[in-house]
Amino acid sequence: MLSNLAARDVETLIHPYTNLALVRETGPLVLERGHGVWVYDTDGRPYLEGMAGLWCTALGYSNEELVEAARDQMARLPFSHLFSGRSHDPAIELAETLKEIAPIPVSKVFFTSSGSEANDTQVKLTWYLNNALGRPRKKKIIAQRKGYHGVTVASASLTGLPANHADWDLPLPGFLHAACPHHYRGAEAGESEEAFSARLAAELDAFIQREDPDTVAAFIAEPVMGAGGAIVPPKGYFAAIQPVLARYDIRFIADEVICGFGRLGTWFGAEAMGVRPHSLSFAKAVTSAYMPLGGVTVEEPLYQAMLDESRKIGTFGHGTTYSGHPVACAVAIKALEIYRRDRIVEGAAEKAPHFQRRLSALAEHPLVGEARGVGLIGGLEIVADKASKRQYDPKAGVAARCVAFAQGEGLIVRFLAGDRIALCPPLVIAPDEIDTLFDRLGRALDRTAEWIRQEGLQAV
């Protein structure tokens, strides 16, 4: 019997990334409040939020400074836009701060309301740039299989996950996908991470040549893959592919929507992974998710092309109502102040070894084939046979069952395709709370193993 709130939910809401048929039977988990790394349901039961909401609530819940920043800005200037040359102080100050902390040269910043919008904008700006440069054929964009870049028509075309394409008539033409840099699943027998990286770089070079380098405009990648499985790239991957991209004058976009603002123990994931992109996409933790805000950095050559197009056309024909929303910008300014003042990024780096030790230890569990991460993000993969890496039938939903058991233990984590489970707690998590997270996940894995035994599930 569903509660009143749950019953109202299933009759009124569409839930993203949810089995809509199943949720009608089970009902949603209805949360009521949060504090620190904990959230509470309508019965008052606490859950350790092991996913920072959706890879985003870096500063935890109920941070009064962020709430006050929003309240103050709402009272002062609740809305203004950036169209037609208008501006306001929060957008200016935030753009200045982002330019200062970015790991690459930044000429300007363009704001959006989400990471999907940011990557959609990257597509448009890439096309716009090549039209301005008189290269109308140079329009194809390469992403990676299992990469995640959003859900608009363009950003979902960048995304390399089957469920984002099936029956959506995606990807659009001109959106290409290179191999996923997942050593555990993609390497040949005995192939080192460095050798795997070199092979992927050679395959990328051959791929670009087959497509014709004069038609390939950009390459986009996450420093660490998020929704594709919380996958850390192999050693030397970005160092191997960057010369390939430079050889063919291909714009390199780093999707920092998940990795940006401290997740890997550095301000941006590009720094941790040795990435030197032309542009960054950001969102999520820039406001600790207290307000919707995203954006892209604009390099000087792109800005000059945008100026040329404005002179030719008479306007820069792109933007949304909430680009640079003053309340969102004010919250982001305060969030970045907290990151700096409270050494949140450095603290994440200091806590990372403990987090990664506890994660790596899960590789000893009979169900876990891979347990790997970096900073305060990690992923594990459930397998039926460790030696062969064979999995259970996807229809059995083993990872989903494990996540349900974790919820029963008072822990929120997320299952992903390929029977993978992602971990991404708020950056403010304390060492003892890290232990609580992994203790509860360990019990959930044990309960999953017992369920598998009772169901008689076998490898496929």
User: Which residues pair with residue 143 across a beta bridge?
Assistant: 177
Where a domain ends, among 341, 362, 379? 341
**pLDDT exceeds 90 at position 1:** no
Average pLDDT, the chain: 97
Residue pLDDT, tens place only, 14-73: 999 999 999 998 999 999 999 999 999 999 999 999 999 999 999 999 999 999 999 999
Residue pLDDT, tens place only, 68-79: 999 999 999 999
Number of domains in the chain: 2
**Do the domain assignments include residue 439?**
yes
What average pLDDT score do residues 379-384 get? 98
Note whether 232 and 101 are same-domain residues.
Answer: yes
Note whether 284 and 383 are same-domain residues.
Answer: no
Note whether 302 and 370 are same-domain residues.
Answer: no
* pLDDT number for residue 3: 87
Residue 271: pLDDT band by 50, 70, 90 thresholds?
very high
* pLDDT number for residue 73: 98
What average pLDDT score do residues 348-354 get? 98
Note whether 358 and 296 are same-domain residues.
Answer: no
Note whether 217 and 275 are same-domain residues.
Answer: yes
The CATH number for 410's domain is 3.90.1150.10
User: Which residues pair with residue 109 across a beta bridge?
Assistant: 297
Where a domain ends, among 326, 341, 356? 341
* pLDDT number for residue 43: 95
Strands, DSSP E only, in 256-320? 279-282, 294-298
**Do the domain assignments include residue 145?**
yes
Alpha helices in 60-114 (DSSP H): 64-76, 89-101
Give the list of residues 6+ apart from residue 262 with CB closer than 8 angstroms, or none. 58, 285, 339, 344, 345, 348, 375, 427
Describe the strand order of the beta sheet including 140-144 as a list of residue ranges: 108-112, 294-298, 279-282, 251-255, 216-221, 140-144, 175-178
C-alpha closest to that of 415 among 426, 407, 403, 424: 403
Residue that has been written with the tokens 């594990």 in this structure? 380
**Do the domain assignments include residue 92?**
yes
Report the percent of the chain where pLDDT is more than 70: 100
C-alpha closest to that of 380 among 454, 438, 447, 455: 438
C-alpha dist (Å) from residue 438 to 16, 115, 267, 386, 434: 27, 29, 25, 21, 6
Helix (H) or strand (E) segment spanning residue 366 = none
Note whether 173 and 279 are same-domain residues.
Answer: yes
Q: At what angle do helices 237-247 and 193-211 cross, to 10 degrees?
A: 20
**Do the domain assignments include residue 460?**
no
Residue pLDDT, tens place only, 165-174: 999 999 999 9
**pLDDT exceeds 90 at position 362:** yes
CB 328 within 8 A of CB 104: no
What average pLDDT score do residues 376-405 get? 97
What average pLDDT score do residues 278-287 get? 98
Residue pLDDT, tens place only, 206-224: 999 999 999 999 999 999 9
The CATH number for 271's domain is 3.40.640.10
Note whether 308 and 371 are same-domain residues.
Answer: no
Note whether 368 and 440 are same-domain residues.
Answer: yes
Alpha helices in 137-192 (DSSP H): 153-158, 183-186
Note whether 369 and 253 are same-domain residues.
Answer: no
Note whether 268 and 392 are same-domain residues.
Answer: no
Note whether 43 and 79 are same-domain residues.
Answer: no
Residue pLDDT, tens place only, 414-440: 999 999 999 999 999 999 999 999 999
Domain of residue 140, residue span: 66-341
**Do the domain assignments include residue 298?**
yes
* pLDDT number for residue 31: 96
Supply the pTM of this predicted model: 0.96
Note whether 133 and 277 are same-domain residues.
Answer: yes
Where a domain ends, among 295, 322, 341? 341
